Structure 1
Amino acid sequence: MTTLEASKTIALLEKKLQRALAGKAHAEDLLESRARSLYKANEELCEALEALKKQEVQLIQQEKMASLGQLSAGVAHELNTPTGYAKSNIETLKMYLITLLAYQDDLEKMAPDEQAMLALKSSYDVAIIQDDIPDLMDESLCGLNKIASIVTELRNYTHIDNEEMVPEDLNLVLDQAINLAQSSFKHHATLNTQLGKLPKLVCSGNKLCQVFLNLLINAGQAIEKLGKIDIISSFDERNIYVTIADDGMGISAQNLRNIFDPFFTTKPVGKGTGLGLSISYKIIQQHKGKIAVESTEGKGTRFTISLPFKPEFA
């Protein structure tokens, strides 16, 4: 090879090397640009996911408040009744105490005459008052305790942060839901409970209370005149089962396919948001459980929830 040919070959190789280097730099620029785009897309995706989580929490809370709104009239009545008799009893106790003080004052002014003392005691009905005071106090305390219980259950139910996963007795969660929901159907539906002894379940008691409350409200609304609602809890070696059934109007086969869809509802405007069963379905999924429904128009509906539990808490 001549010197001229060698020079041409070297020049050609230098050009190829320059093109290769330029291509490499371009590829690196593309990779860097793609990496920046992916990083930005990942940030946007994380932000969108966080926003969705916040929206989910808000929807769950809105559904809680919607359920609470449906219960408000009954809850107000439940609070008003024990408040009324506690107030009445305390007013009566006040009158009794005034009478007893007046009796004691007159007694002290009297000469030690036994017959006169007995006559005075009878004139003030002291014996009746003495017998009535313990009963009034017990009834008043019962009423005030009932008020405190209802307020505590409402506060726990509406508390947005009360969702930690801890071992719970599911029967106690059911009791809480029953206490909150019963005022909405107690005048037209009989409640039958068969709560078996259950192992502890690691769960969010507040979320599961929302599920049971939704099902109980729906059961009460499905009964147009007089009917019954059955609640059964049991377990086997793997799952805890909760069944809530009513003998109300039932659900058509067409609607049954859609009842867990968000915003689907057959209720009149103002009676439901269409989110209760959808949120309930998701809550059960979050607990690795299942929710099944059977219904016949004109005969009633049965929801069965199965929740897996850990044997160490049995």
Structure 2
Amino acid sequence: MWTKKGVIFKPDGSLPFSRTHAQVPFAFPMNDRLRVYFATRDEDRASSAAFVELDSSDLSNVLYVHDRPCLSKGAVGMFDETGTMPSWFLRRGDEIWLYYTGWNKSETAWYRLGIGLAISRDGGLTFERKYDGPLLDRSIYDQVWVAQPCVLAEDQPDGSTRWRMWYLSCTKIEIINNHPEPFYNVKYAESEDGIHWNRNGHVCIDYDEFTDAIGRPAVIREDGLYKMYYSYRNAKNFRTDASQSYRLGYAESKDGLNWERKDEQIGIDRSTDGWDSLMMDYAHVVQYNEQTLMFYNGNGFGASGFGYAIKQS
């Protein structure tokens, strides 16, 4: 079970690049504080990466709000020309690698997404694109777009590194109530260097009678298992109807490939009222100060900010 601690941060609109949203939060431990990266939007809805830093002894206390974007939208015509959304961060020596979602507009489907890589050499204050183009884009296995990767770099007995990625794969668009709605599941890719990825369409978390879309997989290793936290929803009226909208889910795997959904074991649900009563989505779970913490978004896909919960033993 989880104990909710409420909203931590929501942009006040005073920064030009951060008028609204603190979406897809990612908790990144520092020496004396906890940094939380997120995606935020300007007045034109272009998104960029930003962060706040929290008091390690009182996570509800925001010590610092970064006043400039860490990674902004790309150049005209690029896969991320409309915005960047941070998804996963990894320390690699003196560098921090950021796997992010880049998006651009579509006339018929509203938007298209791809997965990019940016690297920081100043402790995570700024990130520079490794390449202008995406590491992963739509393909024979991912028909419409790919997004929101979770990446683990696992050291092997022979000294090599096995890079593993769980990502969202949009397979179709349906027009529902005159609106193009994407359908997306969780697929798997693997790499030897974290840059060149092999994929074969392997599905980890799929659609079912209710699930038409799955949000932001977050995988941890614990108790000899891979544990995945995610959000899921139906395609109909999910923006306004809580019975159809995002709620958090949970799955387990012995090998990271074959997963068993155990949503009933998630131990946390939407509130009866307030900031997370309509939606709970985009969770990230981290162990920090001998506690297991969950950071997540509530109503409005991050428009209501992000909050956190503590797992009870």
TM-score by length of 1: 0.20
Please identify the structure whose Cα radius of gyration is greater: 1
- Structure with more of its chain in strand, by fraction: 2
